[in-house]
Copies of this chain bind each other. A is one copy, B any other.
Amino acid sequence: MALIGKLVVCGVGLIGGSFALALRRAGAVGRIVGMGRSADSLARAVELGVIDEAATGWATALDGADLVLLAAPVGQMDALMAAMAPHLNPDTVVTDAGSTKRDVIEAIYRHLDAHLANVVPAHPIAGAEKSGVDAAFPTLYEGRKVVVTPLPENAASAVERVRAAWAACGAVLSEMSPADHDRVFAAVSHLPHLLAFGLVHDLAGRANAELLFSYAASGFRDFTRIAGSHPEMWRDICMANRQALLGELDQYLAELAFLRALLLSGDAAGLEQLFDEARRARNAWAEQQTNIVTE
């Protein structure tokens, strides 16, 4: 018997679609119903075999649902939860794939307060540079981390069901508080995205942009790869996590002020020491990352 009889995926793109494909491949799911803003995209998801059917509304979608994954940009979570609340069965477990957690949890308390035992926030650490259901693939989560940030009100059985679903996708589970989660990802994910978007935007606005880009090489390519990420998704993440992100940005600005002072004073030894410390830390990290899959 399947772990999940009926699964509802709201937002069938790279993240939601890959979750569906992974659970199907693991034999962990019976029927998969998709919800989303775009009928074309849902039709494509049916055509690709990612979902069994596209639901026309929350009432039918949620009827008899065992698990719901909300995989839409975090800016939509509030409206989604408001819309689904009236149709949600007490036994249905709900989780999300949002890259920020405190804002999603605020929406949960606002709209799903009658279901707090069964609404378990989580965040799969998997790339989203290429978006859309065509980019989904069943092994996206193999060996990747999924951070669960349970609510105090969560039933242990609901947390376990969410963990088991992600484990069936091949993911490695961990738990964190929502505040810690948002601070950690502001530093290692949200800030680098902001910096990469900023550099490309800066250069693209120059009078000699074409000349500059013509000499950009593979260092530039990798540094700016995440500037190809989805603007709406990253707008939502930056807005949702802007307190922590502003804190990280300010700390980074202090680092750049230090680097600027080293350059201005011609402190070659200071620069080399900083570069050397960074290289050691970066290489030590990279050596531990044997199982990172290209996003």
Q: Which residue of B lies closest to A223 (CB)?
A: B192
Question: Which residues of A (143-197) have their CB < 8 Å from a CB of B?
Answer: 144-145, 147, 184-185, 187-189, 191-197
Interface residues of A in 245-265 (CB under 8 A from B): 245-246, 249-253, 255-256, 259-260, 263-264
A271 near B235: Cβ-Cβ < 8 Å: yes
Q: Which residues of B contact A75 (CB under 8 A)?
A: 268
Interface residues of A in 276-295 (CB under 8 A from B): 276-279, 281-283, 285-286, 289, 292-295
With both beta carbons as reference points, the residue of chain B lying nearest to A123 in the complex is identified as B215
Q: Which of A10-18, A23-31, A78-86, A201-209 contacts B (4 or more CB under 8 A)?
A: A201-209
A40 within 8 A of B: no
With known contacts A272-B235, A281-B200, A283-B228, A256–B263 Cβ distance under 8 A: no
Given B185, B213, B222, B268, which contacts A222 in the complex, CB threshold below 8 Å?
B222
Contacts of A114-148 to chain B: CB distance below 8 A: 125-127, 129, 144-145, 147
Closest residue to A255 on the B side, CB-wise?
A: B202
| A266 interfacial by beta-carbon distance below 8 Å | yes
- With A218-B295, A220-B189, A268-B239 known to touch, is A282 a contact of B127 (CB < 8 Å)? no
Contact call A239/B266, Cβ cutoff below 8 A: yes
B217 touches A125 (CB 8 A): yes
CB distance from A92 to the nearest CB of B (A): 29
Contact of A260 among B189, B218, B246, B277 (CB under 8 A): B246
**Can you tell how many copies of this chain the complex includes?**
2
Interface of A, secondary structure class, is helix
A249 and chain B: residue at smallest CB distance: B260
A196 touching B221 in the complex, CB below 8 Å, given contacts A188-B212, A215-B184, A216-B285: no
Interface pair B219/A282, CB less than 8 Å apart: no
CB distance from A271 to the nearest CB of B (A): 5
Interface residue from B184, B217, B278 paired with A200 (Cβ < 8 Å): B278
> In the complex, are the beta carbons of B251 and A202 less than 8 A apart?
yes
A226 to chain B, nearest CB (A): 5
On chain B, the residues within 8 Å of A187 by CB distance are: 203, 206, 212
Query: Does A227 sit at the interface, judged by CB under 8 A?
Result: yes
Q: Which residues of B contact A1 (CB under 8 A)?
A: none
24 A–B contacts, CB within 8 A, in A order:
A144-B217, A145-B217, A184-B215, A188-B212, A188-B217, A192-B220, A195-B199, A195-B256, A197-B259, A200-B278, A203-B281, A217-B295, A221-B289, A223-B225, A223-B226, A228-B286, A229-B279, A231-B273, A234-B271, A235-B272, A236-B268, A238-B271, A239-B268, A242-B263
